[in-house]
Chains A and B, each alone.
Chain A
Amino acid sequence: MDKIDVNLLHEITDMQGETFEGAYNIRKNGAGIERKVTDNVNIVTKKDVSGIDIYVKENTKFEFIHIPVIITESGLNDVVYNDFYIGKNANVVIVAGCGIHNDHHKDSQHDGIHRFFLEEGAKVKYIEKHYGEGSGTGKRILNPVTEVHLKEGATLEMESTQIKGVDSTVRETKGILEKNTNFIVTEKIMTHGKQYAKTIFNVDLNGENASTKVTSRSVATENSVQQFESKVTGNTECFGHVECDAIIKDKGKVIAIPEIIANDVNANLIHEAAIGKIAGDQLMKLMTLGLNEKEAEQAIIDGFLK
């Protein structure tokens, strides 16, 4: 790995020095370059398509799994299929994410299709960060798909962040929840220039006491455009809460399209959406503390996306 690779990995993961704690698989420019497995976590290369299968043994306690992707080759269109099989009552933290460095004129694209199959009582924290950099005119495009299948008593908490440098993204997240499951999603997006970001959430609450909480916080600046679509379907006694909160600046645009479908009288579904510029009273308060207008605006955005 060269300096650019290491920098990209630091941007998208919690990498310590040049290595990771626990099992990991690093993919660069469309191929795996480093891998480590542990007693509880096995990583196997797929035979039919590009990608890996990750197997976590049942009752695994508090292990980290890192599967970062980096792209430094301009013009590459990388599609990867990663499947995670999490055994009963296992408890792991999975850190994914993609960093693109593009110094040239051709577009670089990564589409990561991640499927999670959690057995009974399994618990996963999934952290995904997307980042782009480089001086080229070629676009940096990321289209992640996340599909989550939760069996009875399983929980998946997903944190998705895209703060800088991604020109176009369509991120699709789907959840299929059985009895007593919980799917929590927190998404943070900031777009600049002419960037475009679209988010699609689709969660089916199929089992009794299944619950989901989706929180999206986004900031659209300059001429960027964001679209947030969410569809939560309650098919039994369940709870769903979707919150979309967006700040717009300059000529930024945000479109929020909520859809909640209750197919059962005991389904309890809530959607909240708010879009607006930074509140004048917030700016004023911070200015009375000695921040100038620009610093106040930055402090408000930093807090909002924290």
Chain B
Amino acid sequence: MLELKDICFTRENKKILDHVSLNIDTDKFVVITGPNGSGKSTLVKIIMGIEKPDEGKVLLEGKDITSLSIDERAEMGIGFAFQQPVKFKGITVYDLLKLSSGKEINKSEACDILSKVGLCAKEYVDREVNGSLSGGELKRIEIATVAVRNSKFTIFDEPEAGIDLWSFQSLIKIFEDMRKIVKGTTLIISHQERILNIADEIILMKDGKIESKGSKEDLLGKVLERPICCKLGGSKDNG
């Protein structure tokens, strides 16, 4: 279980997170949604250790990890898929998957992972993770680098952001299959109805606070009434 206790984060006199407390149970598929600027990305970055909270604590399975570095948290089983996948020079998809898995994997194992995220593996495994790949391809590779780690707790920061409607339509199937790919708990920031639909729990954030949290059955209707959710798969955020 992951616990956030009274997390505060203020920058340039703006309260980005305002006394946020939250419990996320093991093996749940949890979606965080809410308008732009509501603090969603900051919250997941605090879980990964990319940002440090001004106040409050982060606990993983009861252990206080607030002062731990990013790599120490990764070693403890937290995975993070970036909203904007990072590009490299010279590092191939295979190199990155090897680094991700933390052990020597052969090309056939790397290809299996790529196939699971919908990439024709042979065409990609030796390609450099650079700007020659499209936004959709980079997203899939990013998901593969996280999936290969078999983390206990995996975070996806708005996977639909920055890719076109057509790429997203095919990518969304992967998220629908996410439970088969990613083990353990999944925490995903999304505004997509199809992703909200597969959630065990939905967290609605507003103005740096958690406005409501509940099961899909309880909250989906409430969330869909608001103009923050996209039915067609674009990344438009009307909040």
Interface residues of A (CB under 8 A from B): 217, 245, 279, 281-282, 284-293, 296, 299-300, 303-306
Contact = CB atoms under 8 A, between A and B. Distances in A.
A282 B82 CA distance: 11
Given A299-B99, A303-B95, A288 B90 contact: no
Contacts of A288: 48, 50, 70-71, 74, 79-80, 82
Contacts of B80: 288
Interface string B87-98: 011111001000
Contact of A290 (B86, B90, B92, B102): B102
Contacts of A286: 99
Contacts of A304: 89-91
B70 A284 contact: yes
A296 B82 CA distance: 17
B100 A289 contact: yes
19 contacts: A245-B89, A281-B84, A284-B70, A284-B86, A287-B70, A287-B74, A288-B74, A288-B79, A288-B82, A290-B71, A290-B74, A290-B75, A290-B149, A299-B91, A300-B88, A300-B91, A303-B88, A303-B91, A306-B90
Contacts of B82: 281, 285, 288
Interface of B: 48, 50, 69-71, 74-75, 79-80, 82, 84, 86, 88-92, 95, 99-100, 102, 145, 149
A296 B70 CA distance: 12
10 closest pairs, A vs B, by CB?
Answer: A303-B91, A303-B90, A290-B74, A285-B86, A287-B70, A288-B80, A287-B71, A304-B90, A281-B86, A289-B100
Nearest to B90: A303
Contacts of B84: 281
Contacts of B95: 299, 303
Contacts of A303: 88-92, 95
Contacts of A282: 86, 88
Contacts of A285: 82, 86
A149 B48 CA distance: 56
